[in-house]
């Protein structure tokens, strides 16, 4: 059995594009799992989805002017993250307004595609992901973005945890909540830009929300939760690629199914009292 398993893995990794896919997915999954943990903890899951939609307009607009899609994606998501951070609580309860903005962003993306139809295939990859098309250049780009993202997260982590769990006390102690909000959503924007390369704009929740939400159902500690979240994200991404390779199903679909399955199984266990209650602000 071991020999057969080894042969299967070796065969799959014989292809350069598969090795690239595993490396790229691993990088994006680690970043998504760590950043997404705080995204779920702060109750801002919708922000990650919003930023990915806004980034679509940036990616398509970048191609229209002759720039690589990822840089347009990064520029638009970071700008949107900063604006959302500045607005802060004024965004609360305004789902309709945010939804309209998201629809507008997708509309601009379609308009840009109208003027550059040759980009249609890449647009599909952006919407649904195509990690199997990642090349060495993109891997180095993802590594650079990951280093910046995780370094920024490390710098703000301590006040971020305080502000997330006890915002009133943090403010009374002098923690700059507005700055932390802006900095964190900027970090989220960078993480979204990387996650999109694996699962696409429409399925960002698969890596940014699924594994972190599952981890918070299973463990209560911050560090154990972060490690589990990143581990689950990597496992789901890699297993999704492997399943896609042998079934010819879309990679993003496989990752999305595994992410949802992991969450629902953990949720069932939690309801039955077999797992630890998850960490929430103010609890």
Could you state, in order of their start, the residue ranges of all structural domains in the chain?
Answer: 2-271
Mean pLDDT over each residue of the chain, to the nearest integer: 82
Q: What is the mean pLDDT of residues 102-115?
A: 75
As its CATH architecture, domain 2-271 has Orthogonal Bundle (1.10)
Residue 96 has pLDDT above 70, yes or no: no
Residue 180 or residue 66, greater confidence: 180
**pLDDT tens figures, 238-281:** 999 999 998 989 898 999 999 999 999 888 864 444 444 445 55
- Residue 204 has a pLDDT of 82
Name the percent of the chain lying above pLDDT 90: 35
Output the pLDDT for position 159. Answer: 92
Q: Quote the pTM value.
A: 0.83
With a cut of 80, say whether residue 24 has pLDDT above it. Answer: yes
Say if residue 118's pLDDT is above 70: no
The residue-averaged pLDDT of 108-135 equals 73
Q: Could you tell me the pLDDT band of residue 34, with boundaries at 50, 70 and 90?
A: very high
pLDDT of residue 112: 76
Looking up tokens 């690239």 gives: 20
Residue 271 has what pLDDT?
Answer: 40
Evaluate if residue 114 carries a pLDDT over 90.
no
Burial class (CB within 10 angstroms; exposed 0-12, middle 13-18, buried 19+) of 260: middle
């Amino acid at each position: 059995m071991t020999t057969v398993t080894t042969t299967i893995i070796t065969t799959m990794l014989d292809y350069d594009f598969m090795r690239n896919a595993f490396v790229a997915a691993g990088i994006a999954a680690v970043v998504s799992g760590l950043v997404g943990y705080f995204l779920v903890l702060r109750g801002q899951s919708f922000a990650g989805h919003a930023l990915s939609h806004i980034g679509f307009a940036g990616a398509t607009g970048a191609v229209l002017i002759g720039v690589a899609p990822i840089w347009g994606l990064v520029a638009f998501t970071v700008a949107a993250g900063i604006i959302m951070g500045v607005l802060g609580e004024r965004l609360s309860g305004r789902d309709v307004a945010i939804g309209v903005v998201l629809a507008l962003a997708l509309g601009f993306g379609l308009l840009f595609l109208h003027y550059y139809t040759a980009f249609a295939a890449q647009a599909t990859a952006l919407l649904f992901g195509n990690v199997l098309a990642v090349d060495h250049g993109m891997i180095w780009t993802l590594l650079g973005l990951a280093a910046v993202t995780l370094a920024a997260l490390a710098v703000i982590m301590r006040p971020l945890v305080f502000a997330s769990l006890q915002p009133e006390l943090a403010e009374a102690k002098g923690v700059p909540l507005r700055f932390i909000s802006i900095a964190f959503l900027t970090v989220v924007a960078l993480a979204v830009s990387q996650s999109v390369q694996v699962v696409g704009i429409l399925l960002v929740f698969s890596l940014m929300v699924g594994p972190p939400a599952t981890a918070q159902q299973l463990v209560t500690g911050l560090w154990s939760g972060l490690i589990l979240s990143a581990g689950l994200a990597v496992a789901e991404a890699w297993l999704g690629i492997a399943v896609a390779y042998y079934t010819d199903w879309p990679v993003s679909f496989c990752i999305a199914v595994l992410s949802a399955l992991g969450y629902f199984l953990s949720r069932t266990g939690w309801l039955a009292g077999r797992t630890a209650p998850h960490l929430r602000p103010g609890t």
